[in-house]
A and B are shown apart, each in its own frame.
Chain A
């Protein structure tokens, strides 16, 4: 794969092209426009890619500054398209799949590492890196004598399209036990997830030595990637649990700025998420840097808190709308914060709690108020959410087993998710939700280039 192929995948090229095309949003659905955009994207491939190769390696998409067009830049904006040729760069200072716009599907797979020593672990990390690099960029699957099992599951056909696939590798606390001699290099805040008061954790769906976040336009692309990983790592990895989810596609509506996708409780989820395209903000809140009191190797990484949160949807659907809105602190349809006179606002409106100290407008225990009190002191507790809705079938009592695969990223796990979740302990929403699984992981810094592999810094630092 040449360098500019990689860079052509930068999502912000796409955005740039789109804004440069100066077409109105209502035009985006016309075939002519799609053609044109595809053409422009191809042009970016040759025109921009050559000149910007070096910059891209640093993980900074060249067009990032231009992305703030007020359209679709939020990580949790509802996905709008399913371009199978959409390709995100794999190599860089940070891994992909964190500030990358959330596509329509995502899954988290936790693994036990079966590797028996450091050499095996290194081999595993190299294989993972190599496969992830291939899968996220796409290409032809290898052919093999038909007397043998095929090397690829074939579920995507002979050509693997990138399909917006991102794969993000993270390590769990248990990887730092005695097996691989990594204890000395453990990220300082990495820990085993402890149950919160409302949790009913199922051991079979918790923790893991490794976690792989796999996101793509379609679930098939994610399953293909997962099966490729399993096929290529026999004896090294064992799937511990997995949870996939989806986000509803939202066609862009004329005159409306992008809304966040809805969760299975019917509320927009992701409102007021920090802006993933704001590099400085991401460096402060999401990426581990020099100021974060972490081992040097960990810079460029991030903490991932994953939670499988069952929603009692039947019960929720039997709850009056007004009560639902009070529990969340937002209007259900618009996603706007509650207002004094019941006037309908916008999702992006910022609630002013200083003028509502008693919680007469937004109850003090409303979900959004507890999660983000919007005070100066709680600014540092903000997290980058990237959740997906899941549906797993039916419980023994006939109720639907559905809920939220909650994923969030932060530079400081304790200041981030753990603090936020403690604030939420006892919230009224708990009557309708039950966290049943998940875990804490540390997302490794990115692989610099094809000569590097994910986790190389960790191994070097603990050698």
Chain B
């Protein structure tokens, strides 16, 4: 009979809510580690976060590159940092694609011939033109290349199954990034917009932390509290350099304005975050 199956499928597989399911899995195991299934939702939410940021990256890059192609130096300068933020937030995923990471975000130091190297492209090549040469001459192809690369990145990430280890490890990776290149102020050496990137990395790390926080808290409540406090400390110091306290989009002062005392004040919590977050994967039982 045609209608024995009344709907698309039978209802034999109703789902339990997440929590009891998790409990079912973990209870008999008598092991402290987080149930793998519990990682599914946060990993998925993280991808959604990345996709949202990519959408923003694509549209901001479109405006940024259009300004360059229109020869509008001033506008392009203004759009440089606000565009990069979306890349900096999702760096743990973006840098999975080594070719694009190089063509989008490499710095001149990565090339033997520095600025003159024909392979030096992407944001920092354009930064050099906009903030060092104050010109968009000859930048058309770099702008177009950046737009193409960002679109390529977008489509590759859409199809990417996020490895849980990379997602969870991403929080630490971002703080390592901050500790290695942001505190020193070498990332945006011409535009001096390092604080934007700094905030972007911190946002990205914090998002990961927040997503996995409930799981981490089951394992080590003190860890969660410590990480939270240090994130707050970093953000508080960063907030001192916001151009408009009430409007995040107004951005930050030049990194040159950051006092030595504040660089040190940032280094402390950043190092603790890097150290603490390096244990997040282990805490959640991931390789």
Q: Which residues of A contact B (CB under 8 A)?
A: 112, 114-116, 145, 147-149, 231, 234-236, 238
> Using a Cβ–Cβ cut-off of 8 Å, how many residues does chain B contribute to the interface with A?
19
Any A CB within 8 A of the CB of B25: no
Cβ contact within 8 Å between A114 and B264: yes
What is the CB-to-nearest-CB distance from A114 to chain B, in angstroms, rounded to a whole number?
4
Smallest Cβ-Cβ distance to A231: which chain B residue: B275
Closest to B183 in A: A238
CB distance from A49 to the nearest CB of B (A): 38
Task: Give me 8 other A-B pairs in contact (C-beta within 8 A), A114-B265, A235-B268 excluded.
Answer: A114-B264, A115-B268, A145-B282, A147-B282, A234-B272, A235-B271, A238-B264, A238-B268
Interface presence of B274 (CB below 8 A): yes
In the complex, the answer to whether B286 meets A235 with C-beta atoms within 8 Å is no
Q: A112-B264, A238-B264 are in contact. Are A147 and B285 (CB under 8 A)?
A: yes
Per CB-CB distance, the 8 closest pairs between chain A and chain B, nearest first, are A148-B282, A235-B272, A114-B268, A147-B282, A234-B275, A235-B268, A234-B271, A234-B272
Interface string of B243-276 (1 = CB under 8 A from A): 0000000000000000000001101110110111
Smallest beta-carbon distance A231→chain B, Å: 7
How far apart sit A407 and B274, CA to CA, in the bound complex (Å)? 34
| Interface: B213 (CB within 8 A) | no
B25 → A minimal CB distance (Å): 18
Tell me the smallest distance from the CB of B180 to a CB of chain A, in Å: 13
User: Beyond A147-B286, A147-B287, is A236–B268 a contact (Cβ under 8 Å)?
Assistant: yes
Please, which residues of chain A bring their CB within 8 A of the CB of B271?
Answer: 114, 234-235, 238
A234 touches B274 (CB 8 A): yes
CB-nearest residue of chain A to B284: A147
List B contacts of A236 (CB < 8 A).
268
| Interface residue? B279 (CB, 8 A) | yes
- Nearest CB in chain A to that of B271: its residue: A234
B182 at the A interface (CB under 8 A)? no
Contacts of A115 in B (CB 8 A): 268
Distance to closest chain B CB from A371 (angstroms)? 36
Chain A residue, CB-CB nearest to B286: A147
Write out the residue numbers on chain B whose beta carbons fall within 8 Å of the beta carbon of A116: 265, 268
Min CB gap B170→A, angstroms: 16
Contact across chains for B282 and A149 when beta carbons are under 8 A apart: yes
Instruction: Report the Cα distance A28→B276, complex, angstroms.
Output: 50
B265: chain A residues within 8 A (beta carbon): 114, 116
Q: Tell me the complex Cα distance, A236–B268, Å.
A: 6
Shortest beta-carbon distance, B42 to chain A, in Å? 18
In the complex, what residues of A have CB within 8 A of residue B279's CB? 148-149
A120, closest chain B residue (CB) = B268
Q: List 11 A-B contacts (CB under 8 A).
A: A112-B264, A114-B264, A114-B265, A116-B268, A148-B279, A149-B282, A234-B272, A234-B274, A235-B230, A238-B264, A238-B268
Nearest residue, chain B, Cβ from A113: B264
Determine the chain A residues whose CB is within 8 A of the CB of B22 once the complex forms: none
* A234→B275 CA distance, assembly (Å): 7
What residues of B have a CB within 8 angstroms of the CB of A231 in the complex?
Answer: 275
B278:A149 contact, CB within 8 angstroms: yes
> Is B281 in the interface zone, CB < 8 Å from A?
yes
User: How far does the alpha carbon of A236 sit from the alpha carbon of B283 in the complex, in Å?
Assistant: 24
- How distant is the Cα of A112 from the Cα of B260 in the complex, in angstroms? 11
The chain A residue sitting closest to B32, CB to CB, is A145
Task: Report the separation of the CA atoms of residues A145 and B272 in the bound assembly, to the nearest whole angstrom.
Answer: 20
- Contact present for A147 and B281 (CB under 8 Å): yes
| Residues of A close to B264: CB separation below 8 A | 112, 114, 238
Q: What is the chain B residue whose CB lies nearest that of A238? A: B267
Complex: how many Å from CA A114 to CA B275?
15
Chain A contacts of B283 at CB under 8 A?
Answer: 148
